[in-house]
Amino acid sequence: NISFDHIEQLGNTLESIAYEKSGIIKENSIVIVGEKTIELELAVKNKLCKELIFSEDVNKESSYTLDYTNFYTNIKIKDEIFEFSLFGEHQYKNFLLAYTTAKKIGVSNEIIKKATKKVKWQCRFEVYKLNNNKIIILDGAHNVAGMKVLRNILIEKYDKSEISTIISILGDKEINGMSEIVEEFSEEIILTSLKEDNKRGLSGLELSKIFKNYKNLYVEDDLHKAYKLANEFNKKIIVICGSFYLLSKVKEFLKDV
């Protein structure tokens, strides 16, 4: 799929992004496309590929349910059930793309079923269940599209009163749009800093000038203190998101949690 990201390199329209990303397609190859958008469809149809397959089209009879206890995406294709260890509607779409590809090269459903239970993708709705029944969710949502996906998963099951969020966003991202989405799913927002870790990083104070209209807003540049503050709110879920640079720091001290 495509969304507005890396626009400095790829262009600021979905058409240009689709065009640039489809540049990887080699002549006389088999092309399998996940999300069927007009922009992607036009971009790939201009390529001299041998075969063009849209996974949405060949799997029209498929469906999914989300297991919020085990955080599995259960996918049904015809009479087969696949337990997928990555979570969310977007992972259902990702699965269909991978499944279509695997079937194209002759992989059996039995092998696919074994594999889907073992897939791990760090910081993509990565769940830590703590002994005190709290849940920590690490998600590398670093653009508007990613933040919308995170919001949709959370509001399907949880009220915003159950969630506190720690976030830091790099300065070249769509901070305004992302901030509005975070406010839809989180009771408290704690802004922390990436200023010392990345030249594009912002301090919590700099971010607060963009999040300024949110009433339950806190600034804590020290990540350990931000995590401690989030715990003190005693909510069911702590979401940590906004940048993979932030999540890499979080994962270091979560080893000891």
pLDDT digits (tens, 9 = 90+) for 149-165: 999 999 999 999 999 99
**Residues 115-124, mean pLDDT to the nearest whole number:** 92
Strand ranges across the sheet with 63-67: 63-67, 72-77, 80-84
Cα Rg, the chain, nearest whole Å: 20
pLDDT of residue 250: 93
The single-letter code of the amino acid at 77 is I
Query: Is residue 203 scored above 90 in pLDDT?
Result: yes
**Residues 115-140, mean pLDDT to the nearest whole number:** 91
pLDDT of residue 256: 64
pLDDT of residue 151: 96
pLDDT of residue 2: 66
> What is residue 72's three-state secondary structure?
strand
The single-letter code of the amino acid at 36 is K
SS (H, E, C) 176-187: HHHHHHHHHHCC
pLDDT of residue 4: 56
pLDDT above 70 covers a percentage of the chain that reads 95
Query: Is residue 205 scored above 50 in pLDDT?
Result: yes
**Residues 235-242, mean pLDDT to the nearest whole number:** 96
* Residue 90 CB partners (closer than 8 Å, separation 6+): 149
Q: Are 38 and 13 in contact (CB under 8 A)?
A: no
Q: Which of 94, 90, 44 shows the shortest CA–CA distance to 66?
A: 90
Q: Are 133 and 234 in contact (CB under 8 A)?
A: no
CA distance 201 to 217: 19
Q: Are 135 and 125 in contact (CB under 8 A)?
A: no
Query: Is residue 7 scored above 50 in pLDDT?
Result: no
The single-letter code of the amino acid at 245 is Y
> What is residue 38's three-state secondary structure?
helix
pLDDT of residue 17: 81
More confident residue, 109 or 36: 109
Q: For residue 198, what are the CA distances in angstroms to 23, 152, 169, 194, 202?
A: 30, 29, 11, 6, 9
Q: What is the DSSP string of 230-254?
A: HHHTT-SEEEEES-HHHHHHHHHHH
pLDDT of residue 249: 92
Mean pLDDT of the chain: 89
Q: Output the pTM of the full model.
A: 0.81
Q: Where residue 12 falls among pLDDT bands split at 50, 70, 90?
A: low
Own/partner pairs, 25-34, CB within 8 angstroms, 24+ separation: 25/49, 30/104, 32/97, 32/100, 32/101, 32/104, 33/97, 34/1, 34/93, 34/94, 34/96, 34/97
pLDDT digits (tens, 9 = 90+) for 18-75: 888 788 888 889 989 888 888 877 888 777 788 889 998 999 999 999 999 999 999 9
Strand partners, 53: 32
Q: Where residue 252 falls among pLDDT bands split at 50, 70, 90?
A: confident
More confident residue, 162 or 10: 162
